[in-house]
Structure 1
Amino acid sequence: MRTPTFTALATLTALAQFAPCLATWSSGKAAQINFYTDTHCSAYTGEAAAWWETSPEVGVIGSTTGVARAQCITLNMPGNSQSINTAALWGYSTTTQPGADSGYCTFWDGYTCSGNAASSYYNVPSSYPTCQPARSSAGYLWKSAKCYLN
Structure 2
Amino acid sequence: MRTAVLRVNIDPAGELTGESLARGMAALAAALAVTGGEVLEKDLGAAPRSRREVQVLLDTADAAADTARVVAVCARVFGTQPVPGVVTYVSRGTDADAYGVLAGFGLTGEITRVPGTDGYDILQVRLRESDLERVPESRIHTALEASTNCEVRISTM
Aligning the two structures, in what range does the TM-score lie when normalised by the shorter sequence? Answer: under 0.3
Please give the TM-score of this superposition, normalised by the length of structure 1: 0.25
Please give the TM-score of this superposition, normalised by the length of structure 2: 0.24
Structure ID, larger Rg:
2
